[in-house]
Structure 1
Amino acid sequence: MKRVLTIDDVEFAIKGGSVYACGGGGWADHGRMLGTAAVNAGQPELVTMDEVEDDAWIATAAAIGAPAGTTQWQMLGMDYVKAAQLLQDRLGAPLYGLMIGQNGKSSTLNAWLPSAVMGLKVIDAVGDLRAHPTGDMGAIGMANSPEPMIQTAVGGNRANNSYLELVVEGATAKVSPVLRTASDMSGGFIASCRNPLRASYVRQHAALGGISKALSLGEAITDAESKGGQAVIDAICAETKGVILLRGKVTKKAVSYTNEAFDIGTISVDTGGACSTLYVMNEYMAVDGANGERLATYPEVITTLDANGHPLSVHEVFEGMEVFVLHVPKLNILLSSSVVDPAVYPPVEATLGIKLAEFVL
């Protein structure tokens, strides 16, 4: 079904996307800027893959960087448009639509403005239902492919002379780190458009309906807000089929920004005499219990909430505050080819020093 996205949908996307952000996934204000600009610039239209011809070109609109608030980034709405235009020019063929690499506070809205300005469709498909740290994790199975892919990046802090535009082409695993380096050089957060693929491939490998999932969750949150924080938390659990895995006080936060544009570290939560550990690589990637037992692992949804049911980004979590940790098991979420691709896990495992793939695959 087609759905013209409205200003109400902007808020639904931010609220639902904030849960699927899993501690990362951009900024609510940035998402609000993108969405508001999109619905004022045109009529961005969300379409399902059932409506798309097999040979249509679909690319992924994304943002790259570490949104924990520790860098001087600047990204304007037109940077997303420019990134899509550069990719289309390099492709030498018209794009039909844009999907997104992941949901998040702003990530859910990454395709809206370039689609509205360029007359493209917003494709109801995601590379990963939840947010993730590396581009490969949203590359719908292309991470280990030798096939050359086009990737573009646009943006940067103008006052610091850090604005960049680049177009790169090559195997996804080789060119994705180039864009992450560009993100760091631009100020830590940059717009991108990448991996143009035929709709027949997207239909088989993406998590279809991923944007609608975020919108529905946002509507459920909105309906519950007048009833108080516990009602919001209950609504989130009901809509996602998730549970509150932990509730406790943050006793230690050790998260640092790296020049690869990652926020990396751990957050410790005391649940009453026992301390669990949340592993951060931009997003929450795993939770270990007090005895080192694994309680949750990417691509499962792991999200910190406050008592009002507000999803907390990593930069909003502080020592001494009480948090609720939401867990949505992988049996209850849409999975794309990205998250069952063994090639995407070794770099993240090496960075965090923990095992992930054996719990997923």
Structure 2
Amino acid sequence: MRIIGKQEVEDMAVGAAVLASGGGGDPYIGKLMALQAIEEYGPFEMVTLDELDDDAWVCASHMLGAPTVLVEKVPNGLEGIGAVDALEARFGKKFDAIMPLEAGGLNSLLPFQVAAAKGVPIVDADGMGRAFPELRHVTWTLFDVPACPAAVCDEKGDTVVIEAVDNEWAERLARNVAITTGGSVFMADYAMTGAQAKKTSIPGTSTYCEVVGRTIREAHEAGGDPIPVILDLLKGKELFRGKLDDVSRRTVGGFVRGYAHFEGIEGYHGRTCEIEFQNEHLIARSDGEVLCSAPDLIAVLDAETALPITTEALKYGARGVLVGIPVHEHWRTPRGLEIAGPRYFGYDIDYVPVEER
């Protein structure tokens, strides 16, 4: 077990936003919620999958909806707790630990606040190793772990318990609840035993987020350029450097959809690059050439600070370094590509690992 304090939270917030591929919610909001929880409950307790008892009862905690909504619809801190309370009432027993659904600015840190309020540890693992748009985009789906029963809670305290036939329908029903309640909700789902979590989850995600954030911070403190260091750590690839000259965002069907267009700078003068997103970045193209596509990660890092820029924070004139990052091997299997590859998102191309492009 590790004790997680304020500095670890600060580093995790940055690292999680890098691994979120542009999505996962506002890292600033997630960080504030986690820091406030430390003030209220003390430092967090985090356990590894190996430290989790096989018969432990765990669930995922997260936000679902359009990240741009959170700019105005700021969480009050009770939604995630209310969702877990509702799911515990549905099962008639308490959870022994809480686990993040994904690596995302908000969704990596929200579960820490929920776990602290419930008086249980957080598990250093998740179901994505990155952020994806849909509820079903988790390794738990690949191993046939059901999302339901699932509980949804909004900022007013309204709760809905979803009993869906499969994870695809769980996504559809939960997304419609989010749309009805203003574009975002908080959920508790994917209840499973410790033994199931060990078999089906991606281990060490929270620690990995912390390492990424700490690496950026320490590079700044040493007066160096963090981007080469981050590329080496993540085994990533620089895709493009450019100035954002056009961005379009719209909230449709409970997602933020749109594109960002970059005009090349430095060694990329005379070229352009466009990324398309559905909450998360899905594909990057330069002058017709695909540079990277889902399920690999596409991160936009500030050219000066190397801090990640989320889809809702993309603004005209921003200078960014686009980075492609290899995804966890689970997502490169035939089943993983079936539900999270380029064709799932409507792109008629074969998946090519970013390191092979």
Cα offset, 1:336, TM superposition: 6.3
Counterpart of 1:202 (choices 197, 202, 208) is 197
Contact 1:33–1:77 (CA under 8 A) maintained in structure 2: no
After superposition, residues 1-361 of structure 1 pair within 5 angstroms as 2-40=1-39, 41-69=41-69, 72-138=72-138, 140-141=140-141, 145=144, 149-156=148-155, 164-170=158-164, 171-228=166-223, 231-258=225-252, 260-271=253-264, 272-291=269-288, 293-306=289-302, 307-330=304-327, 333=328, 335=330, 340-345=335-340, 349=343, 352-355=345-348, 358-359=351-352
Per-residue displacement from partner, 1:147-175 (whole Å, max 9, x unpaired)? 5721111123x5xxxx5321112222212
1:338 positional shift = 9.7
Question: SS at 1:10's partner residue?
Answer: helix
C-alpha deviation, 1:21, in angstroms: 1.9
Seen in structure 2, the aligned counterparts of structure 1 residues 70 and 193 have a Cα distance that, compared at 3 Å, is closer
- 1:301 Cα deviation after fit: 2.0
Contact 1:68-1:263 at 8 Å conserved across structures: yes
Query: Could you say what secondary structure the match of 2:306 adopts?
Result: coil
Mapped to 2, the partners of 1:207 and 1:164 lie a distance apart of 31
Q: Which amino acid aligns with 1:20?
A: L
Deviation at 1:322, TM superposition (A): 2.0
Scaled by the length of structure 2, the TM-score of the pair is 0.88
Alignment partner of 1:46: what SS?
A: strand
Q: Percent of counterpart pairs with the same letter?
A: 21
Greater shift, 293-302 or 45-54, is seen at: 293-302
Assess if the C-alpha contact under 8 Å between 2:19 and 2:103 holds in 1: yes
TM superposition score normalised by structure 1: 0.87
| Contact map agreement 2:141 2:167 (CA 8 A) in 1 | no
Verify the 8 A CA contact 2:295 2:337 in the aligned structure 1: no
How many residues align? The count is 346
Q: 1:290/1:147 Cα in 2 relative to 1: closer, same or farther (>3 Å)?
A: same
**Equivalent residue letter for 2:239:** L
Q: Which amino acid aligns with 2:306?
A: G
Shift of 1:6: 0.8
Q: Provide structure 2 residue ranges, at least 5 long, that are not aligned to the other structure.
A: none
Deviating more after overlay: 62-71 vs 25-34: 62-71
Q: RMSD over aligned Cα, in angstroms?
A: 2.6
- Distance between the aligned counterparts of 1:208 and 1:24, measured in 2? 21
Gaps of 5+ in 1: none
What is the one-letter code of the residue matched to 1:296? C
* CA distance in structure 2 between the aligned counterparts of 1:339 and 1:23, rounded to whole angstroms: 25
Q: What is the alpha-carbon distance in structure 2 between the residues aligned to residue 4 and residue 305 of structure 1?
A: 29
Q: Quote the Cα distance in structure 2 between the aligned partners of 1:211 and 1:191.
A: 20
Structure 2 distance, partners of 1:337, 1:238, is 21
